[in-house]
Structure 1
Amino acid sequence: MSKNSIPNDVTGIQNDALRFGLSGVKSEIVGVHPLQPLMESTKRTHEEMKRMAMANVYGSAFPLKMDLDRQIFSRFQRPAGALPSSMLGLEAITGSLDDFGFEDYLNDPRDSDSFRPADMHHGMEVRLGISNGPAHPSFI
């Protein structure tokens, strides 16, 4: 039996409390806010309408160029365990620099005392495909 065929709960990778911390019951029970799917679908619809308008005004190659730029800018990231990636270039080309989110007037959840920085070695192992354990949210 190869290692890939053994479930994660048997190997202990998924339940590694020393590496990922203790799991809480609240995080397993609480779902997403009821308005979140509506906001996401509205955002997708708005982006699709904007894409169609750009294709009508500038030609069909312009939205393809924008998609290519978005793919390129989404790949720039800092190494695992370092400061979180700001993705400023991606925010500039998508227009999300103008958005005013909750982290702008409340606090960024990463600044709280309960936020644990990720293990740099495990993050690089996951990114390079050496480890198949679950990635920390800051590596995704």
Structure 2
Amino acid sequence: MSFGLPSVKVKPEHAGNIPVQGGPFGIASPLVAGFGVTKNKLGMSHPLQASEQNYHLNEEKMNMSMLRNIQGCHAPMKLSMERKFASKVGRLPFLPSSNLQHDVFTGRYLDIGFEDILNTPEFCEISGQPHAMVERSLGIL
């Protein structure tokens, strides 16, 4: 009996290729795209990497299905709408954002992970001109 819950067994999923705009020589500019662009060409470096990338998604699916079975379909719909609106709140592309409201809705504000320590704005690889970054996010550039 599964009660409609998703499987606990992790299934590998292949990440889709993200097209990166090339520069004049067919290579993306590291000042605009960052040094991590070349990582898309590499495969998985560890067998648990795919599992760890999908951990929060699998946990959220399981929690939503349990909530749906216990309280009905209105509770997961309300929570997903609140999370959607919290994720749309943002700042200009060149300003760092902590996304605290979204982290509180998802429960990630209690977790301390690598992204909390190593993903600080002062160590960010991408730093560009503010006008160019806004134009790129709007699709003008």
Q: Normalising by structure 2, what TM-score? A: 0.65
Change (3 A) 1:124 1:58: same
The answer to which structure has the higher helix fraction is 1
Code of the aligned partner of 1:91: D
Higher RCO (C-alpha under 8 Å, 6+ residues apart): 2
Residue 68 of structure 1 corresponds to which residue in structure 2? 81
Change (3 A) 1:37 1:129: same
Deviations 1:39-61, CA, capped at 9 Å, x for gaps: 23443332211101111222211
Residue 129 of structure 2 corresponds to which residue in structure 1? 119
* 1:93 CA drift (Å): 0.3
Structure 1: gaps of 5 or more residues:
1-7, 132-140
User: SS in structure 2 opposite 1:50?
Assistant: helix
Residue 49 of structure 1 corresponds to which residue in structure 2? 62
Residue 134 of structure 1 corresponds to which residue in structure 2? none
Identity of counterpart residues, as a percentage?
25
Structure 2: gaps of 5 or more residues:
1-20
State the Cα RMSD in Å. 3.3
2:114 is the counterpart of 1:102: yes
Q: Normalising by structure 1, what TM-score? A: 0.65
Give the alignment partner of residue 20 of structure 1, picking from 19, 27, 32. 32
